[in-house]
Chain A
Amino acid sequence: QKEVEQNSGPLSVPEGAIASLNCTYSDRGSQSFFWYRQYSGKSPELIMFIYSNGDKEDGRFTAQLNKASQYVSLLIRDSQPSDSATYLCAVNNAGNMLTFGGGTRLMVKP
């Protein structure tokens, strides 16, 4: 059973701080990694994707991948109250079959 694990939270950070979200996965052969944001009652929205070891930055978001440790993380700099949502980590196993973690609920307090 291929698994993706996330801390369910809630992770509470003050406005302007860095939020750090973490995810581990069990399938060492996984190649593609994704972060989705989901607001309550809405569908998941793609935030970042990363395929290679290291860091990938896009605006206030940085995805970090360490395949040796089977670990992927998402950093959100200058967190805003509008970033409050559930963040889903997903790992691609085959084709477009993604395995999702349970999500981490982030709360950014003004």
Chain B
Amino acid sequence: KAGVTQTPRYLIKTRGQQVTLSCSPISGHRSVSWYQQTPGQGLQFLFEYFSETQRNKGNFPGRFSGRQFSNSRSEMNVSTLELGDSALYLCASSPGRPEDSPLHFGNGTRLTVT
């Protein structure tokens, strides 16, 4: 089975711009979660989508949003980029419940905001 695929791998954006990141989950997985990793804050949960519905949301401002399509692929969007949004953004997929299958992460998208 192919793993979780994230595109693009690297992005450089300017402050104030917006960005869209994409994630294709493992085939058959209906849950897609997004995490942000920074040196200062570590790995933090952004949100989770399951069957096109947001199931859980972390403590991030409304500039961070996401969606999931009927084929389970997911996108996250960050608007009005700030320097502090520079981070590794990780997507993970799961069949549904963590007790069914732990999360497996994609290779991530490294976003640099200048």
Contact = CB atoms under 8 A, between A and B. Distances in A.
Contacts of A22: none
Interface string B28-44: 00010101000000111
Given A43-B105, A44-B105, 17 more contacts: A34-B103, A36-B105, A42-B107, A43-B90, A43-B106, A44-B43, A44-B90, A46-B103, A94-B56, A95-B56, A95-B97, A96-B33, A96-B92, A96-B94, A99-B45, A100-B42, A100-B43
Interface residues of A, number: 24
Contacts of A103: 42
Contacts, number: 63
Which secondary structure dominates chain B's binding surface?
Answer: strand
Interface of B: 31, 33, 35, 42-45, 48, 50, 55-56, 58, 88, 90, 92, 94, 97-99, 102-108
B43 A97 contact: no
Taking each of B43, B58, B97, B108, which has the highest tally of chain A beta carbons within 10 Å of its own beta carbon? B43
Contacts of B58: 97
A75 to B, nearest CB: 19
B105 A96 contact: no
B98 A96 contact: yes
A49 interface: yes
A88 interface: yes
B42 A97 contact: no
A94 B45 CA distance: 11
Contacts of B92: 96
Given A43-B105, A43-B107, A43-B108, A88 B99 contact: no
